[in-house]
Amino acid sequence: MAPPTLVMNRPNTVTAQDKSQVINLEAGESSQVSFADWEKFSFAPIRESTVSRAMTRRYFADMDKYTESDVVIVGAGSAGLSAAYVLAKNRPDLKIAIIEASVSPGGGCWLGGQLFSAMVLRKPAQLFLDEIEVAYEDEGDYVVVKHAALFMSTLMSKVLQFPNIKLFNATAVEDLITRRDESGELRIAGVVTNWTLVALNHDTQSCMDPNTINCNVVLSTTGHDGPFGAFSAKRMQSLRPKGTDNSFELGGMRGLDMNKAEDAIVKGTREVTPGLVIAGMELAEVDGSNRMGPTFGAMALSGVKAAESVLNVFDL
């Protein structure tokens, strides 16, 4: 059997002798790479330290660049990434850092619900799907994306391609940077971060001090309560405890009511304290609104509204 040929060519210019052996990748330039003889195949040479330098130089250059950011988004779930997309697209001048505790960003948005894969979004959230070019079936008052991972992977791919966005995953926000303005009002001025594994093991190690990122606005979209969830909401409660003037108390997420929950989350998305916007399911913990279960339109549109709230803080 003739050796396979990898043809990186435009579809209509397949030139292999036997089409059944062509792996046709739609490359920009028509080029033919032929692995005529796998026995002679080999990659270009490299030294291991070259790979390490290629990774670490870029990472530390990014840390240096984004340690002063305009916006920090905490949590790369559907609300945070939707907000990141809208912000980066409308404001290419802003430096946006996304801090995600998990190695794998995407939050709870890889499945439609209880391990089922189709994802439901109620109208008008399909407008956001149109914007990021995700196909769906139109069912009248709602639409269905054939797999939640199609939505999340498409959104993430678009967000990560913006030059003014940097995702720091496997990194946890473990505190907020605070300031007091002239009137003594608390203002959020950045985040305190650590490798997630360190943040999970502060009790098993001697103190491992964190890192910091200064910024103008923090958008917290860390989801509903959990080991890391509702982070900024819970931190604000401890910074402005019950009984003090201007205390920050949590309403606690209520039971499931799709119709009430989705409207409340989108309409309630806002700057909850100077310098801190909260969106997505984290907001349910602040306002005591209902949960919506396996519908995701509110996450996308809460992200859109959060982007507007962030820009309002910039007064732009």
Interface positions with ligand 48N (CB under 6 A): 74-80, 99-102, 107-109, 172-173, 221-224, 228-229, 231, 256, 280-282, 291-293, 296, 299
Of residues 16 and 176, the one with the C-beta less far from ligand 48N: 176
Does 93 show up as a binding residue in the annotation? Answer: no
Of residues 70 and 225, the one with the C-beta less far from ligand 48N: 225
- Strands 270-273 and 137-138 come out as unpaired
Of residues 77 and 275, the one with the C-beta less far from ligand 48N: 77
**Cβ of residue 82: shortest distance to ligand 48N, in angstroms?**
8
SS (H, E, C) 212-263: EEECCEEEECCCCCCCCCCHHHHHHHHHCCCCCCCCCCCCCCEEECHHHHHH
Does 203 show up as a binding residue in the annotation? Answer: no
**Cβ of residue 189: shortest distance to ligand 48N, in angstroms?**
17
Does 108 show up as a binding residue in the annotation? Answer: yes
> Positive or negative, the Cα torsion across 133, 103, 52, 70?
positive
Which residue blocks in the chain are alpha helix, DSSP H? 48-66, 78-90, 126-131, 148-161, 196-199, 231-239, 258-268, 281-287, 297-313
**Cβ of residue 24: shortest distance to ligand 48N, in angstroms?**
36
**Cβ of residue 34: shortest distance to ligand 48N, in angstroms?**
43
Of residues 4 and 210, the one with the C-beta less far from ligand 48N: 210
Q: Look at phi and psi of residue 272 and say left if phi exceeds 0, alpha if psi is from -120 to 50, else beta.
A: alpha
Does 209 show up as a binding residue in the annotation? Answer: yes
Of residues 108 and 190, the one with the C-beta less far from ligand 48N: 108
Report phi then psi at 222, rounded to 5.
-95, 10
- Using an 8 Å Cβ cutoff, are 149 and 110 in contact? yes
Identify which of 153, 130, 178 has the alpha carbon closest to the alpha carbon of residue 301.
130
Residues within the annotated binding site for substrate?
79, 100-101, 108, 173, 209, 224, 281, 291-293
Residues within the annotated binding site?
79, 100-101, 108, 173, 209, 224, 281, 291-293
